[in-house]
Structure formats: structure tokens, C-alpha cells
């Protein structure tokens, strides 16, 4: 039984139960795949189909009802806001805080890393607010994919679907592989000692990690159980993680030295902002929490409390950890790779590193659990729209979870984690995440200020122009941020453009839709600020290296990084050389075709010059005759249409005449002289006239003056009827 409404409850529809085995419909349900002829026709119509689908938007009720019905069974509604807070904290607060804090404090912000965590936390909170409004009104498993499908169309949703699946596969594999590193640290071993070195594979892919596969499968088993079974496990693991964090705070503050805060901003405001851009990625796990909307008892109440509440807890915890670290050690002595472990060693608490490693291990376990649960639900809703095989959208009747999607995504995670350290793939992870956040903020503005068939053309054009200015000014700020420090006039111009464009939407564009349940305050300022911040984050110059610390607890040698970079550069050069060769080949072929066409053109010109004036005159006459024939054909079509119309008119008149004749036959024919002014009318003559007119009507001779005669007959006949 599947259904839903604005709160996720609503109507229920009976779905036919699947029989054993799979068939073609489970993988290729669309009409275009039913036969080779249909497939060929669909390929020929690609241009038209793409044009129709490019900006085709879904509707709220389709996502809430029809899409969910394709899963055959409904997910079990067993969670509340308390569960959501624990899932949010567990899914966001992993090992990143134990690594990123050290690099941000040592190289970017110093003790002002506290401000960096606040800035990045507020920035993440803007995205959380955008997600919250969407997830309250669309509590479906698709998350940002469903939101963009409704507001920005299928094409943008398709692009984001690829980013989402890529993001979750890479993130899950990254966490699983990092789990091995922290596990090795607990036993005083190097991470590669727990991996299998295979010499015949390429460098960077030759350290196979079986522990990562075991951990992924174990977490998948937990995630595939009923969601209420996963919730206690996640809660216990998160509680252990928080206990470890509380220990770090208490033990660290007992060794605090206030003099370490003497120099608060050694790298200036730009260093604080650079650190904030780096630390933003310690908050990104919240996007997966919104995929659990179908499993909440009361989405309209639980989602705002769960999302915003968990984010506030995380921001507070991160800030306290940053303060503790910088009070334990001078910022220039903080270790980049293991900041808290080295800090405890520096104050004589070497044993505490095991507690830190245990906390990181528990944190990664909950992050991996939240990752597998979320990615399975994303994939389920993507399959509901037939952008993936529909068999992956099936919900288990027993557990109420998307088992098929979870299996596929776990296998993908395990394969990637088993073979590669993800040095290159994880660099793209940050860009994919911020790209999705930016699109969700844009979609929220579209949802509020544009509604089909309701927004006026003037408001629509103003909104498009102002939204384009917001996006372009955000890109301008990102470019200025990436190129260097000397760009104050450019910053001022871009900020002014962004401010005026946002103000223009606020003052000149009427809101087309008010949120029914929960809405982002200060529209459109908060989504607009989220667009700008996320765009700038994508241009962060060190973004391609900061994620490596989540993969490697033990620093690798610099020569390995150089080899990887040179290998990547060599591959790029080879690819460019191959493309250049293909371009040269294409140019040679194009030159040959041009030369051949020129030769043919010369032959045609020569033949045209040889033709006599009589031939040219005949050609002109022939062309004229063709045009005249075309005109005659058009006129003939018009005449046929006119004749057809006349025939229809005549048929209508004939039917009216038949009705009148029937009335005449049924009436008595006396005459009433005083009433109509007749003194002597011969009945036989009148009766003969009536029969004559009837024959004329039957023969089709009466047309133009027929109406006037018919209007006169009732008076004569009434007089005859009264007379006799």
C-alpha cells in the first residue's frame, strides 16, 4: 500500500505484488525499449524528445503519490525528531573534525579557527534551511533530486542525480578506507600493513583493502534492517562518539594555556575565510538526512526540529573542539595530520591517543551507516522516475527498506574502496557537493517567485534577469577569490551587484507561492547568500587537497604525491595529443570534401554557361508553371473545403425541413379569416402550394429564400386550421 500527501500520509493504492524472477519491464519499462522499431523511432525523435524534456518539470503530487507508488510497498513510518537529531549528528560529525581542525589552525587561521568554524557553520545552516523548506513540503526519499525535478526540470535533476550518486559512492568508499587507517592506529600499525599489496596493479590502486569491504557489508546489513533497528545502533554509536568528544574537551581544557590565544588572527581575515571554506566540508553530511522523510511519523514537525537541531549541536561541538585544541598548544605547533593525538602527547597524555582514535572510528561508523541509508534512498527515488532500472525502486515488504538499491550502492562502494585510495576522485567530491547545494538554493528561489500560468510575464522576466545577476556576481566573487588578494574594487562591485539584484527580487517581484507548512525566513536574502557562499566555496584554491586528510591519517611521502601528479599530467598530455591527432585527421578529411565539392560546382557552372537563352527561358517558364500549379492545388483544396461546408449546411437545412414537413402532416388545415385578415382562400390551392413547396425542398431547389418562406407558412396554416 503506497500513498502520501503533504504530510506523507494520504491516500493508499493497491499495487500488484511482484512474482518471482525479473523480466524486461524491471529494467527497461519505457515504451521506446519494447521493440527495435520503437527504439529506432525514439532515436530518430531524440531532438524533439530532448526539447520536450529539457525544461519539463514534475509536480508535488506526482512525487508524493505516483512516484512512491512505483516502489510497490511503503517505507515504515517509525522515526521521530529525536531519531533524526541522532542520525544528523552521526551522519555529519565523523573523523573530519579530528583532522581538518589541525590544518585550518596551523596553516590558515591560527586560534581564529573558532571564527572559521562559526562562519562555515552559518554557511552550512543556510543550506540546511533551504533543504528544510523543501523536505517539509516534499517528504520523499529523493531529497535534492526530487526538489530539482519539481522546480528546475528533468534535465537539471538528471545532472544532479549523477553528482549525487558519484558523491555518495566516493564518500562511502573514502570513509570505509579511512576506517582501516584508524583501526590500524589503534594497534600501533601503519595502515598499509592491514592492506594487501599487489605489485602488478598501478600505483595508487595496488593496496587492496579487504577490511573496507567487511566494514561496508556489516554496515549495509544494519542499514537493510528495519529503520527502527538501525536507529538504536546509530544512537549508541553516536553516544560513544559524543562521550569521546566530551572527554577530549574536559581533558584538554585541564591542560589549557591562555597564552596560546595571545595572537588570535596571525593570518588575517583572509586566512579566517580560507579556513572557513576548508571547514565547510565538515558539515556536508546533513543532505542525506532529508531522504528519510518517508519514514518519519510527522514530517512537518520532525524535519525542522531534527535538521536544525542537529546542525546547532554540531556547530557548538566543533567550536568547542577548536577552542580546546588551540588552548592546549600554540597554533604553530599543531600537527596537521593528527592534531588532537599529538596535542595530548605534548601535554604528557600519550594514552589519550587511543581514545581519540576510538572516537574517530565510532564517528566514521555512524557516518558510513548514514551514508549507505541515504544513498539507497536517493537511488530508490531516481529509479522511481525510470532514470535507473525500476527494480532498484522496490521497497521490501518485510523490512520496509530499499534493499535492492542498498545492495547495488554497497557493491559500488566496496569495489572503489577495495582498489583505490581515491586521491583523484575525492578531489571532485567537494565540487559535486557544493554544486548540489547551489542548485537547491536556486530551486528554492524559483519555487517562491515563479509559478507556471500564475506569474506574469513581466515578473517572470524580472526574476530571470535578477537571478542571473545573483549567479553571475557570485561567480565573479569566486573568480576574484581564486586569483588572489589584490581585488578590493572588484569585490566591492560584485557585492554591490549581488546586493542590488537580491534587493530587486525582494521589492519588485511578487512571491508566487507561500510555504504551506514551514518556510525559510528573510526571503530572498538567505537563499541568495547560500548561492554566493557555495559558489565561492567551489573556487577555493586548496579545495583539491583538503579532503586527502580524511583518507590518510598517516602522512604519505611527498615523492608519491609528485608521482601521482606527474602521472596525471602525463595522462592529460597523452589525451590532448590524441585529441589533436583526431582533429588534424578530421581537418584533412574536411579539406578533401571541400575540394571535391568545388570540382562539382565548377562542372555545374560550366553546364549552366553552355545552355542557350531558349533553355533558360524554358526553365523560367517551367518554374512559373510549378508555382501556378501549386497555387491551383491550394485553391482546389479551398474549394473542396467550401463544398464540404456547404454540404453540411444543406444537410442541416434538410433536417429542419423534414421536421417542418412532419409538423405540417400532423396539423389540421382550417382557416381563421378574422385573425389573419384573409376573406377568401381556396383550401385546395393552398394545399397544392404546400405540396409543391415540399417537392421543391426534397429536390434541393429551395435554398436562399427558404427561411423567409418557412416563417410565413405557420400564419397561413393556422388560418386554414381555424377556418375548417
Residue ranges of domains in the chain: 49-455+510-556, 557-603, 638-723
Q: Judge whether residue 674 has pLDDT over 70.
A: no
Among 94-98, 302-306, 524-528, 640-644, the least confident range: 640-644
Band (462; pLDDT cuts 50, 70, 90) = very high
Band (245; pLDDT cuts 50, 70, 90) = confident
49-455+510-556: CATH architecture: Up-down Bundle (1.20)
Residue 675, SS3 per DSSP: helix
Residue 392, C-alpha cell as written in the block? 532498484
Among 295-299, 324-328, 338-342, 532-536, the least confident range: 338-342
Say which residue, 453 or 377, is predicted with more confidence. 377
Please give the helix or strand (H or E) that residue 144 lies within, else none: helix 144-151
Do the beta carbons of residue 183 and residue 194 sit within 8 Å? Answer: yes
Q: Where are the alpha helices (H) located in 55-194, listed in sequence order?
A: 60-61, 67-69, 81-92, 96-103, 113-137, 144-151, 154-186
Confirm whether pTM is higher than 0.85: no
Dihedral pair phi/psi, residue 296, rounded to 5°: -90, 145
Considering 302-311, 400-409, 581-590, the range whose residues carry the highest mean pLDDT is 302-311
Q: Residue 559 has what pLDDT?
A: 40
Residue 267, C-alpha cell as written in the block? 593570518
Residue 241, C-alpha cell as written in the block? 562518539
Do the beta carbons of residue 108 and residue 336 sit within 8 Å? Answer: no
Say which residue, 721 or 233, is predicted with more confidence. 233
Q: Which of 303, 321, 123, 121 is nearest to 241 (CA)?
A: 321
> What is the chain's mean pLDDT, rounded?
75
Band (88; pLDDT cuts 50, 70, 90) = confident
Do the beta carbons of residue 262 and residue 268 sit within 8 Å? Answer: no
Q: Judge whether residue 75 has pLDDT over 60.
A: yes
Q: Judge whether residue 223 has pLDDT over 50.
A: yes
Q: Where are the alpha helices (H) located in 210-298, listed in sequence order?
A: 210-224, 227-254, 268-279
pLDDT tens-digit map of 30-70: 666 666 777 677 777 777 777 777 777 888 888 888 888 88
Amino acid at each position: 500500500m503506497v500513498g502520501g500527501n503533504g504530510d506523507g500520509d494520504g491516500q493508499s493504492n493497491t499495487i500488484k505484488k511482484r512474482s518471482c524472477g525479473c523480466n524486461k519491464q524491471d529494467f527497461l519499462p519505457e515504451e521506446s525499449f519494447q521493440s527495435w522499431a520503437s527504439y529506432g523511432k525514439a532515436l530518430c525523435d531524440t531532438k524533439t524528445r530532448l526539447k520536450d524534456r529539457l525544461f519539463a518539470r514534475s509536480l508535488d503530487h506526482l512525487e508524493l503519490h505516483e512516484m512512491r507508488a512505483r516502489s510497490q510497498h511503503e517505507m515504515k513510518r517509525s522515526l521521530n525528531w529525536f531519531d533524526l537529531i541522532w542520525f544528523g549528528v552521526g551522519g555529519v560529525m565523523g573523523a573530519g573534525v579530528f583532522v581538518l581542525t589541525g590544518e585550518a589552525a596551523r596553516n590558515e587561521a591560527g586560534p581564529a579557527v573558532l571564527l572559521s568554524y562559526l562562519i562555515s557553520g552559518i554557511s552550512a545552516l543556510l543550506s540546511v534551511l533551504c533543504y528544510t523548506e523543501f523536505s517539509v513540503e516534499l517528504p520523499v526519499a529523493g531529497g535534492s533530486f526530487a526538489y530539482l525535478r519539481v522546480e528546475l526540470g528533468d534535465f537539471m535533476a538528471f545532472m544532479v542525480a549523477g553528482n549525487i550518486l558519484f558523491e555518495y559512492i566516493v564518500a562511502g568508499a573514502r570513509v570505509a578506507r579511512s576506517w582501516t587507517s584508524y583501526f590500524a592506529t589503534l594497534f600501533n600499525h601503519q595502515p598499509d600493513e592491514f592492506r594487501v599489496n599487489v605489485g602488478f596493479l598501478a600505483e595508487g590502486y595496488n593496496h587492496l583493502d579487504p577490511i573496507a569491504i567487511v566494514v561496508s557489508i556489516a554496515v549495509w546489513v544494519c542499514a537493510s534492517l528495519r529503520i527502527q533497528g538501525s536507529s538504536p545502533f546509530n544512537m549508541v554509536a553516536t553516544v560513544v562518539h559524543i562521550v569521546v568528544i566530551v572527554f577530549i574537551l574536559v581533558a584538554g581544557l585541564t591542560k589549557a594555556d591562555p597564552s596560546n590565544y595571545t595572537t588570535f588572527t596571525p593570518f588575517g581575515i583572509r586566512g579566517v575565510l580560507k579556513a572557513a571554506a576548508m571547514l565547510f566540508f565538515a558539515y556536508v553530511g546533513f543532505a542525506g538526512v532529508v531522504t528519510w522523510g518517508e519514514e518519519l511519523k510527522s514530517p512537518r514537525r520532525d524535519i525542522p526540529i531534527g535538521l536544525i537541531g542537529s546542525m546547532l549541536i554540531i556547530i557548538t561541538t566543533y567550536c568547542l573542539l577548536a577552542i580546546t585544541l588551540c588552548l592546549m598548544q600554540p597554533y604553530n605547533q599543531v600537527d596537521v595530520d593528527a592534531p588532537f593525538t599529538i596535542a595530548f602527547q605534548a601535554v604528557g597524555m600519550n594514552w589519550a591517543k587511543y581514545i581519540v582514535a576510538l572516537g574517530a572510528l565510532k564517528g566514521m561508523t555512524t557516518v558510513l551507516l548514514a551514508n549507505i541509508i541515504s544513498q539507497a534512498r536517493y537511488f530508490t527515488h531516481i529509479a522511481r522516475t525510470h532514470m535507473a532500472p525500476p527494480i532498484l525502486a522496490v521497497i521490501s515488504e518485510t523490512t520496509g527498506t530499499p534493499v535492492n538499491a542498498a545492495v547495488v550502492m554497497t557493491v559500488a562502494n566496496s569495489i572503489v574502496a577495495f582498489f583505490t585510495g581515491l586521491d583523484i576522485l575525492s578531489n571532485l567530491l567537494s565540487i559535486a557537493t557544493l554544486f548540489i547545494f547551489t542548485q537547491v538554493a536556486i530551486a528554492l528561489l524559483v519555487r517562491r517567485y515563479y509559478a507556471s500560468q500564475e506569474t506574469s510575464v513581466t515578473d517572470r522576466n524580472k526574476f530571470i534577469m535578477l537571478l542571473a545577476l545573483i549567479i553571475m556576481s557570485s561567480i565573479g566573487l569566486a573568480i576574484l577569490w581564486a586569483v588572489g588578494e589584490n581585488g578590493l574594487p572588484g569585490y566591492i562591485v560584485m557585492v554591490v551587484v549581488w546586493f542590488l539584484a537580491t534587493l530587486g527580487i525582494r521589492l519588485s517581484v511578487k512571491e508566487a507561492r507561500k510555504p504551506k507548512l514551514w518556510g525559510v525566513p528573510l526571503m530572498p536574502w538567505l537563499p541568495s547568500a547560500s548561492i554566493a557562499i557555495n559558489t565561492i566555496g567551489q573556487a577555493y584554491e586548496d579545495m583539491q587537497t583538503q579532503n586527502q586528510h580524511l583518507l590518510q591519517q598517516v602522512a604519505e611521502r611527498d615523492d608519491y604525491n609528485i608521482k601521482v601528479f606527474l602521472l596525471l599530467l602525463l595522462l592529460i598530455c597523452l589525451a590532448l595529443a590524441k585529441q589533436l591527432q583526431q582533429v588534424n585527421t578530421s581537418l584533412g578529411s574536411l579539406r578533401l570534401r571541400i575540394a571535391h565539392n568545388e570540382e562539382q560546382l565548377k562542372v555545374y557552372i560550366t553546364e549552366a554557361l553552355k545552355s542557350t537563352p531558349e533553355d533558360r527561358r524554358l526553365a523560367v517558364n517551367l518554374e512559373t508553371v510549378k508555382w501556378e500549379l501549386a497555387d491551383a492545388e491550394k485553391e482546389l483544396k479551398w474549394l473542396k473545403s467550401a463544398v464540404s461546408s456547404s454540404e453540411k449546411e444543406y444537410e442541416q437545412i434538410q433536417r429542419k425541413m423534414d421536421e417542418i414537413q412532419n409538423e405540417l402532416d400532423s396539423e389540421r388545415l382550417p382557416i381563421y379569416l378574422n385573425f389573419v385578415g384573409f376573406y377568401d382562400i381556396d383550401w385546395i390551392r393552398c394545399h397544392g402550394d404546400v405540396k409543391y413547396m415540399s417537392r421543391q425542398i426534397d429536390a434541393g431547389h429551395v435554398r436562399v429564400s427558404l427561411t423567409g418562406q418557412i416563417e410565413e407558412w405557420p400564419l397561413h396554416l393556422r388560418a386554414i386550421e381555424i377556418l375548417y
